[in-house]
Amino acid sequence: MRKNLRLTKKVNEATQHDIKLELDVRCQKAIERRLRKDFPGIAILGEEGITGDPEAEYRWVVDPIDGTVNFTYGIPHACVSIALQRRAQTKEHYESLVGAVYDPFCDELWTATKGSAAKLNNRPIKPSSRRNLDEAIVAVGFAKHTQTLDRMIPTLTELLHKVRKVRIMGSAALATVYVATGRMDAYIEYGLRLWDIAAGGLILECAGGDFCHEAVPGDYTYRILLNNGHLRRKLEPFAR
């Protein structure tokens, strides 16, 4: 990603609000080769395709480039997100056991293992302690479909008058780990996919934050209200 940031990218598919790059596919294939070499029996569920049975007991969840539009335009705010998940005892849900989010442009690596402290470049992290909305920085995101845009526009409009600042930065995984690190206080979005939040959500939980997410219609699709552990009730009216 660092090597290709300033280069012209080959676009495989482009819509009004999304871009798919040839490099997305190439990065996922490189990740798959490494994971399959070391863990040949574990399925891979990725934004750019599936290898093996995604409903198996264990699966990797991979987003090879989260923040593709940023990356395409030469904006150095994108990352790689990888999580290892296990089917929960209910057999209806999965839980993340290991998560890693890497920002190659800032050389920042967030990691977490379920039951242990979350870390940034091997140093423990924790969310902010802010409890008041008028002091909070809240990230919001807009997924690529019209119905998700329509849900989030009122949220943005209402939040602007209630919080210190709203940020729209274009990478769900980075927004999540920024909340885990205390750089932001919350993150709200409707229509995110599993690979956007599987690793970052575990990192946020292990850091002591609140990984509030709910499945919504669509394959591996969620509504999120991620926060520092103090702001959920105050932000719930905005998270439709």
pLDDT band at 91, cuts 50/70/90? low
- 119 and 19: one domain? yes
Evaluate whether 60 touches 96 at the Cβ level (below 8 Å).
no
Domain count, the chain: 2
Asked, for residue 187, whether it belongs to a domain, the answer is yes
- 120 and 150: one domain? no
Asked, for residue 36, whether it belongs to a domain, the answer is yes
Mean pLDDT of all residues in 95-100: 97
- 109 and 149: one domain? no
pLDDT band at 165, cuts 50/70/90? very high
Asked, for residue 116, whether it belongs to a domain, the answer is yes
- 111 and 171: one domain? no
Evaluate whether 112 touches 120 at the Cβ level (below 8 Å).
no
pLDDT tens digit sequence for 181-212: 999 999 999 999 999 999 999 999 999 999 99
Q: Return the CATH number at 146.
A: 3.40.190.80
What are the residues whose beta carbons fall under 8 Å from the beta carbon of 65, sequence distance 6 or more? 1, 21, 23, 24, 27, 71, 78, 79, 80
Decide if pLDDT at 45 tops 90: yes
Q: How many residues does the chain have?
A: 240
**Nearest partner of 240 among 228, 227, 224, judged by Cα:** 224
Asked, for residue 153, whether it belongs to a domain, the answer is yes
The reported pLDDT for the residue numbered 5 is: 86
Asked, for residue 3, whether it belongs to a domain, the answer is no
pLDDT band at 8, cuts 50/70/90? confident
pLDDT tens digit sequence for 215-239: 999 989 999 999 999 999 999 998 8
Asked, for residue 1, whether it belongs to a domain, the answer is no
DSSP string across 178-218 = HHHHTSSSEEEEEEEEHHHHHHHHHHHHHHT-EEEEEE-SS
Q: Which of 124, 151, 173 is the last residue of a domain?
A: 124
Asked, for residue 168, whether it belongs to a domain, the answer is yes
What are the residues whose beta carbons fall under 8 Å from the beta carbon of 33, sequence distance 6 or more? none
Tally helices (H) and strands (E) across the chain. 6, 15
Domain around 77: 11-124
The reported pLDDT for the residue numbered 157 is: 93
H or E element in which residue 14 lies: strand 11-15
pLDDT band at 92, cuts 50/70/90? low
Lowest mean pLDDT among 24-28, 62-66, 193-197: 24-28
